[in-house]
Structure 1
């Protein structure tokens, strides 16, 4: 049975890709496979810990819990109508996990195509570009929503400002100075 494979992380872009993948799975009458890739901190085969350390099991459990949260966020308590959903956690880089999961030429790989600047691309390579270069099946890239771009721009603007002190706005976040309450009690007559 063909499958529609989608990478999920919980980001706004991956949620948009997940919804698009569900629509594609419904249209194609295919299984929807949501894949969350994870790695140990520090990378490598065993990360910074030994193989006997229980940390890999804890990270695997945390990845499975994160996948459940993402699916609940995207679809609520149930699954999308007319679609069989399978959730997989894979210990690998995101691009490799997705390409390995969608290896049949009849599969469809759906990825979010977030916007990366040149500097960010050096630090964190694009999963979509990796999948387009290495996948054995068609790859559908879902562009970010214009709302995501507006949110990111607002977040960048506000990140440079100093923290807001509510007392400067005339609201009192703590007890007012000199014991004044700043509150007026109004008694209503019956």
Structure 2
């Protein structure tokens, strides 16, 4: 029995060796020249690729960071420093005014036109193109949710968004979201980078 197992394992090894040799040296087909791999320093300009040339310079990934670029004394003077400004994901900074919060965020990957919803109202804020709109319109059922309004500024790098948000449950005085946001925009425009 041991002799039969040795014979079987020898035959299997022989078959495996033949397959490996056959795979590494395939039989050449008649009329086909072997492939020659060479390295050249010739440019690939005549070869069509999906890469466009010249490559466009990348934009500044942090054109404006409101937590760093707006002076803290300005934030305090405007009443937005109930708690210290809080940097959040990306270039978003959240400010606390006590009965409402405000955030300012810049986007380099989205344009002004892509940002605006259909019901946005465009306006001029101190010489800068902007639009004002609701994120969630106030209704009877949203007394458990946040009411949010937005102002988006057109910038050379993309869009700068300023939002005011509050919860009617936790805010003793109802906030006039659109007017408050517009007032803050007029006060902060001198510190924004467009």
Q: TM-score, normalised by structure 1?
A: 0.22
Q: Which has the larger radius of gyration?
A: 2
More helix by share: 1
Q: TM-score, normalised by structure 2?
A: 0.22
Structure number with the bigger relative contact order (C-alpha 8 A, sep ≥ 6) is 1
More strand by share: 2
